[in-house]
């Protein structure tokens, strides 16, 4: 059901959120809605379109769209009035055809940094859960046992290897330093200033996997990074080392990851997967040395407000002649 329909203010400009979640309307009460209503008419649909036809109908007259999940090519091609899409996330290219949007004169903006703190804290939660066997201990106690056979390890004094030092990776580095960890990192664009800011040193990727007790992935998914973590990298990890992935599942070769985890030589904390939702019969669900969360590292009210505020700011900037965070210039 559409909500927040403004009236009488620059009515020729229609802004539509066609695929919001049930909890999203609460974020738009007050300031965000008023800001959009100053630009034109705002419609929010707190559900997913049933099919492409319904999706196309919802945005048929829209100049601006806030996109929650993804826009199929036929829907994008049919949106004749569309000028800007503000995507609620970072990896817009996985959810909308940027080349097709550019060909149709549609700017696509994303929301970098909206969940740096949120995802970094979830990363630390997965580290602690893996290091201290939290999931197994919880299940054991709830099943009536009082089992002390799961021996954990301290984070203090361990080496954390970060792969990809953007906003999230930098925040993870600061949190890890607070735990007393040594931090090393690999990034495609190292510099002394970035190393000093994060309180770490840069190393070759192979060295990160050789030395780290915990490796945490924080790269964006691009054609260059897809499958960048191979079986050869996983083979370099110490026995008992922990792999954390709150970035994208496709960064790691899936067959190699399954082989390493099935062997029991390493363990993992995973929030992201090659195919989502994770299949009910996927072997990962049965491995005792893996902690799984359902791509929810970003999911807090604080991050939810931040992502939508950035989308509103992107639309305001577009209409003010100052587009921001454009990913298909």
Convert the pLDDT of each residue in 62-87 to its tens digit: 999 999 999 999 999 999 999 999 99
> Is residue 42 within 8 Å of 36, Cβ to Cβ?
yes
246 within a domain of the structure (yes/no): yes
234 and 309: one domain?
no
Number of Cβ within 10 Å of residue 22's Cβ equals 8
Would you place residue 5 in the very low, low, confident or very high pLDDT band (cuts 50, 70, 90)? very low
Asked if 232 contacts 204 with a C-beta cutoff of 8 angstroms, the reply is no
Residue range 274-285: mean pLDDT, rounded: 97
**HEC secondary structure over the chain:** CEECCCCCCCCCCEEEECCCCCCHHHHHCCHHHHHHHCCCEEEEECCCCCCHHHHHHHCCCCCEEEECCCCCHHHHHHCCCCCEEEECCCCHHHCCCHHHHHHCCCEEECCCCCCHHHHHHHHHHHHHHHHHCHHHHHHHHHCCCCCCCCCCCCCCCCEEEEECCCHHHHHHHHHHHHCCCEEEEECCCCCHHHHHHHCCEECCHHHHHHHCCEEEECCCCCCCCCCCECHHHHHHCCCCCEEEECCCHHHECHHHHHHHHHCCCCEEEECCCCCCCCCCCCHHHHCCCEEECCCCCCCCHHHHHHHHHHHHHHHHHHHCCCCCCECCC
- 28 and 134 housed in the same domain: no
Reported as a single tens digit per residue, the pLDDT across 207-258 is 999 999 999 999 988 899 999 999 999 999 999 999 999 999 999 999 999 9
Any domain includes 100: yes
Q: Are residues 180 and 280 in the same domain?
A: yes
Domain that holds residue 14: 2-113+300-319
304 vs 162: CA distance, rounded Å: 25
- pLDDT score, position 94: 85
Write down the pLDDT at residue 4: 52
Is the domain of 248 the same as that of 227? yes
Q: Taking all residues of the chain, what is their mean pLDDT, rounded to a whole number? A: 95
If asked whether residues 103 and 156 sit together in one domain, one would say no
- Looking at the fold, whether 167 and 286 belong to one and the same domain comes out as yes
Q: Which residues, in sequence order, are CB contacts of 148 under 8 Å at separation 6+? A: none
Q: Is residue 326 part of a domain?
A: no
Residues 125 and 230 in one domain: yes
Residue 328 lies in a domain: no
List, for residues 11-24, the tens digit of each pLDDT value: 479 999 999 999 89
How are strands ordered across the β-sheet holding 182-186?
201-202, 182-186, 159-163, 214-217, 242-245, 267-270, 290-292
Do the beta carbons of residue 92 and residue 98 sit within 8 Å? yes
Residues 63 and 128 in one domain: no
pTM above threshold 0.85: yes
Contact between residue 62 and residue 81 where contact means Cβ atoms under 8 Å apart: yes
Same domain, residue pair 106 and 123: no
- Same domain for 68 and 7, yes or no, is yes
Contact 46, 1 (CB under 8 A): yes
Residues with a catalytic annotation lie at 248, 276, 295
Q: Please check whether residue 177 lies inside any domain of the structure.
A: yes
One domain for residues 45 and 84: yes
Q: What phi, psi does 311 have (nearest 5°)?
A: -65, -45
Residue 167's CATH number: 3.40.50.720
Residue 81 placed within a domain: yes
Residues 150, 244, single domain; the answer is yes
Q: Which of 115, 105, 204 is nearest to 166 (CA)?
A: 115
Residue with tokens 């929650």: 68
Instruction: Please write the tens of the pLDDT for every residue from 166-207.
Output: 999 999 999 999 999 999 999 999 999 999 999 999 999 999
Closest Cα to residue 224, out of 191, 198, 188, 194? 188
324: in domain: no
**Domain count of the chain?**
2
270 Ramachandran zone, left/alpha/beta (phi>0; psi -120 to 50): beta
Tell whether 247 is covered by a domain.
yes
Please write the tens of the pLDDT for every residue from 30-66.
799 999 999 999 999 999 999 999 999 999 999 999 9
4/14 Cα distance (integer angstroms)? 12
Task: Please say whether the dihedral angle defined by the alpha carbons of residues 11, 13, 15 and 16, taken in this order, is positive or negative.
Answer: positive
């Amino acid at each position: 059901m559409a909500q927040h329909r403004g009236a009488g203010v620059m009515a020729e400009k229609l802004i539509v959120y066609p695929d919001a979640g049930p909890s999203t309307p609460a974020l738009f009460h007050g300031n965000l809605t008023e800001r959009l209503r100053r630009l034109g008419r705002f419609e929010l649909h707190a559900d997913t379109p049933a099919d492409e036809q319904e999706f196309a109908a919802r945005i048929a007259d829209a100049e601006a769209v806030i996109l929650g999940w993804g826009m199929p090519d036929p829907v994008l091609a049919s949106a004749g009035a569309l000028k800007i899409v503000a995507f609620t996330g970072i990896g817009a290219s996985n959810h909308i055809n940027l080349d097709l949007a550019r060909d149709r004169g549609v700017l696509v903006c994303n929301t970098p940094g909206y969940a740096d703190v949120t995802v970094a804290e979830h990363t630390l939660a997965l580290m602690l859960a893996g290091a201290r066997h939290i999931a197994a201990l919880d299940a054991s106690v709830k099943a009536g046992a009082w089992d002390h056979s799961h021996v954990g390890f301290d984070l203090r004094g361990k080496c954390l290897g970060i792969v990809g030092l953007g906003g999230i990776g930098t925040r993870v580095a600061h949190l890890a330093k607070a735990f007393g960890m040594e931090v090393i990192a690999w990034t495609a664009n190292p510099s002394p200033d970035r190393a000093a800011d994060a309180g770490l040193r840069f190393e070759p990727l192979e060295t990160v996997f050789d030395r780290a007790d915990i490796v945490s992935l924080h790269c964006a998914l691009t054609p260059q990074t897809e499958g960048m973590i191979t079986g050869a990298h996983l083979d370099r990890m110490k026995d008992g080392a922990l792999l954390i992935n709150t970035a994208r599942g496709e960064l790691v070769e899936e067959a190699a990851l399954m082989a390493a985890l099935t062997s029991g030589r390493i363990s993992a904390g995973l929030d992201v997967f090659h195919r989502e939702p994770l299949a009910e019969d996927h072997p990962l669900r049965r491995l005792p040395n893996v902690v799984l969360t359902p791509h929810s590292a970003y999911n807090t009210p604080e991050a939810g407000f931040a992502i939508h505020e950035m989308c509103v700011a992107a639309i305001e900037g577009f209409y003010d002649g100052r587009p921001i965070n454009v990913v298909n210039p």
